[in-house]
Amino acid sequence: MSRPSVPAADSLIGVRHPVLSHGFVVLVDYMGNDAAVVQAARVSYGAGTRTVRDDRGLIRYLLRHGHTTPFEMVELKFLVRLPIYVARQWIRHRTASVNEYSARYSIVPDEYELPAASEVRRQSARNRQGRGEPLDLAVGESFRADLDRISREAYQAYEKALSQGVARETARMLLPVSYYTQWYWKINLHNLFHFLRLRLDPHAQEEIRQYAAVVATLARKVAPTCYEAFEEFQVMGMRLSARELRAIRALLEGKDPQAACQVAGLSLVREDGTPLRTGEGPEFLEKLSRIREVP
């Protein structure tokens, strides 16, 4: 039995794809492809019971109906270099095998991330863990200058501690989360799709979205038909709750969006009458806006 090979993916193995100032993503290896998903799905069909279905149609059926196990037959391994503050978000996805650069054994390189002044924005009023409206550019420049100074001073203190004999595992405490780490990250296609669905979302932090975009490009090369279905059903598609379905029915009956939300019990205002910025009602109106924008 020969190893499945995808020429478009093979040509990218070992290639560094730059991200941010000092980061990158490398496709180290992969196991399986679109055919592996089809093979895994069809192994459960006994003689005389197999349904004739083209591979693309089967993959789309599997993803559409949540049959995820066949997608676990494909695995991808990456080498990723990223700032520590991005790594701490990334590691929240606990469905991968990770082996990280150890600052206990090795000296941390003098590389840290400095965001563009335009990326230093206000705390979002809607997304409590994200950034929102732009700040005065002078504020962004001031923050950037402070971060640059603090990072340089921290590394000088780190080098001083090492020169005085302080253990590497202790000296690393001096370094801020703007410094870079790297790891090998191996994950199956099903869990990779979950990672991408969350980290390609506009609500995700900009930096991890940039990494996710590169990972997505590489995953598309390994399993293009699977990725096409994922993009259509999970990235560009949407799920509707029971209340949202009732609101859709009200829209079809001729009600305007606000009235449809009221009928369905999707609140748009607080008890004092002020508009809600977050919650099921505003999120439903956002979904309607997305539907209107579908080409």
Token pair for 94: 């606990």
Q: Using CA atoms, how far apart are residues 27 and 271, in angstroms rounded to an integer?
A: 52
- How big is the chain, counted in residues? 295
HEC readout, 71-111 = HHHCEEEEEEEEEHHHHHHHCCCCCCEEEECCCCCCCCCCC
Give residue for tokens 């508009």. Answer: 275
Closest CA relative to residue 238, chosen from 248, 251, 225: 248
Q: What crossing angle do the helices spanning 55-64 and 34-42 adopt, rounded to 10°?
A: 80
Token pair for 139: 């504020």
CB 229 within 8 A of CB 59: yes
SS3 assignment, position 171:
helix
CB 125 within 8 A of CB 33: no
Q: Which residues are tagged catalytic?
A: 199
According to DSSP, the residues that pair with 25 across neighbouring strands are 17, 80
Q: Using CA atoms, how far apart are residues 35 and 225, in angstroms rounded to an integer?
A: 10
Closest CA relative to residue 211, chosen from 14, 27, 8, 20: 20
SS3 assignment, position 31:
strand
